Amino acid sequence: MLQDLLILMRAELMLILIIFLLLFLKLGSASLRNETVMNMVNGLLLVVLALGFLVKDSGMIFGNMFRTDDLLRLEKNMLTLGTLIISLQSYQWLKKHDQAMEFYLLMLSTLLGMFFMLSAANLLMFYLGLELSTIPLAAMVNFDFNKKQSSEAGFKMIVSSAFASGLLLFGISWLYGTTGTIDFSGLAASLDGSPLQLFAFITLVAGFGFKISAVPFHLWTADVYEGAPVPVTSYLSVISKGAVLFVFTSVLYSVFHAMGTVWYNMIFIIAVATMITGNLFALRQDNLKRFLAFSSIAQVGFMLVGISGQSREGAAALIFFVLIYIFSNLAAFGVITLVSSASGRERISDYRGFYQSNPALTWILAIALFSLAGIPPTAGFFGKFFLILAGAGKGNWLLITIAALNMIISLYYYLRIIKAMFMEHNASPLAKVDIPFSPRIALAICVAGILITGLYSGAYQYIYQLLS
């Protein structure tokens, strides 16, 4: 039993250890320099990542509340990798921050929550994990203490998350009421699509919709993204969204399998609305964080297209895309973090003539944006077209045509930034930004990921094979 616990929950236990270590260091009032703390946490995260890859295992513990298998392990590894990259990227920002230790406490708590959420085999466990991941996030959003916008964003985040959680709980209780169980496998067996269950399902989807900011539940996104510090924005848009998408997919595919037609229609409408709304709003943004907020909404729309495929290809395409999205979006945010902490500028128009002063960063941002737009040979091309291909498996050609044409709209606004950086001349472009060691590593990982994950098909095949 103990051995099971140690092996199956090793990622979670490691995170708890790190959290307590930080807590003790803090309480012991050891006056560590921020750099030391950061390097230590980065090293420990690397250990967590390595542990995740080392031992293969699967099984269930705690009376079938907590499960793990190779796929979940991969998903957790992806999230850990993303967190590690963000942690490396926030070096410049946290170095000057008074509360670096608390930031890590909060960030690792949310990561822990996501791990529990992913491993949940039971609605209650899932809900606990979700809450553990959401509440610290709101505090993180509020982490620019002297910016009014940041606390406003934190407040918006907590209110909308609480509302979403309420909806989820409401749905969960209806499900429990109609089926008498909150166990995933029990639910899957006893769902029959009765009107009450349908209602429960709708509230559940609304709850999930808030978390992944799908239209029409996306209204909080732009303000929160804009107000939050850049590393937190990237954490929100990549890690927390990715985790919820993983769970959403597995819940839809396994628990609500019996209600396939119902949820297909819902996902179809939500996907179309999400793509179009996200794209249209992204067109005219000037603030980069708002811009990336809307573009990430549009990306979620594409992911929903993949999910709507209801096939092994669909699930594989989604996980593969999230992996690519981690690399691409974090590369973009990495550059923006550097620029923002060096100069405080976050507008697209500030990036005019960026190439004149920072050619390397410009190319990195360009590669990231090309990947987000789905341009070969970057990985984003494969990610996006596999999603659309998976969606096409259902034979809904209207959805596929809309998705394909939406890629063009999104290409337009990504090109706007490329244009500003390469083509528009600026008498006084942003000053040369120097790149410290940690962010340099993070950017290198991201760029390598963007260039390799697509062209080398191993990642996709591995994911596909795990889904059997």
What are the residues binding other proteins (CB under 8 A)?
312-313, 316, 370, 375-377, 381-382, 385-386, 388-389, 392-393, 395, 397, 400-401, 404-405, 407-408, 411-412, 415, 418-419, 422-424, 457, 460-461, 464-465
66-68 vs 59-61, strand pairing mode: antiparallel
Query: Are the beta carbons of 227 and 149 closer than 8 angstroms?
Result: yes
Nearer to other proteins, 60 or 415 (CB): 415
Nearer to other proteins, 200 or 365 (CB): 365
| H helix or E strand, kind and range, residue 68 | strand 66-68
CB proximity list for 343: less than 8 A, separation 6 or greater: 350, 430, 431, 433
Nearer to other proteins, 156 or 416 (CB): 416
Nearer to other proteins, 9 or 375 (CB): 375
Nearer to other proteins, 129 or 391 (CB): 391
Nearer to other proteins, 66 or 414 (CB): 414
Closest approach of other proteins to the CB of residue 76, in Å: 23
The torsion defined by the Cα of 373, 378, 379 and 380, in degrees rounded to 10, comes to: 0
Cβ count near 453 (within 10 Å): 24
Nearer to other proteins, 10 or 416 (CB): 416
Closest approach of other proteins to the CB of residue 128, in Å: 35
Nearer to other proteins, 28 or 395 (CB): 395
The torsion defined by the Cα of 306, 310, 316 and 321, in degrees rounded to 10, comes to: 20
Closest approach of other proteins to the CB of residue 293, in Å: 23
Closest approach of other proteins to the CB of residue 262, in Å: 23
* Nearest-angstrom CA–CA distance, 276 and 399: 12
Query: DSSP alpha helices (H): ranges in 308-435?
Result: 312-343, 354-357, 359-373, 379-392, 397-422
Which residues on neighbouring strands pair with residue 67, listed in sequence order?
Answer: 60
| H helix or E strand, kind and range, residue 117 | helix 100-119
Nearer to other proteins, 180 or 376 (CB): 376
Closest approach of other proteins to the CB of residue 97, in Å: 37
Beta strands in 174-286 (DSSP E): none
* Nearest-angstrom CA–CA distance, 311 and 122: 23
Closest approach of other proteins to the CB of residue 449, in Å: 17
Closest approach of other proteins to the CB of residue 422, in Å: 6
Closest approach of other proteins to the CB of residue 434, in Å: 21
Nearer to other proteins, 248 or 370 (CB): 370
Nearest to 430 by CA among 364, 338, 363, 367: 338
Q: Which pair of structure tokens corresponds to residue 254? A: 């396994």
* Nearest-angstrom CA–CA distance, 13 and 3: 13
Closest approach of other proteins to the CB of residue 391, in Å: 9
The CB-based long-range contact list for 457-462 (8 Å cut-off, 24+ gap) reads 459/320, 459/323, 460/316, 460/320, 460/382, 460/386, 462/74
Closest approach of other proteins to the CB of residue 406, in Å: 9
Q: Which pair of structure tokens corresponds to residue 104? A: 């890590």
CB proximity list for 71: less than 8 A, separation 6 or greater: 319, 463, 466, 467
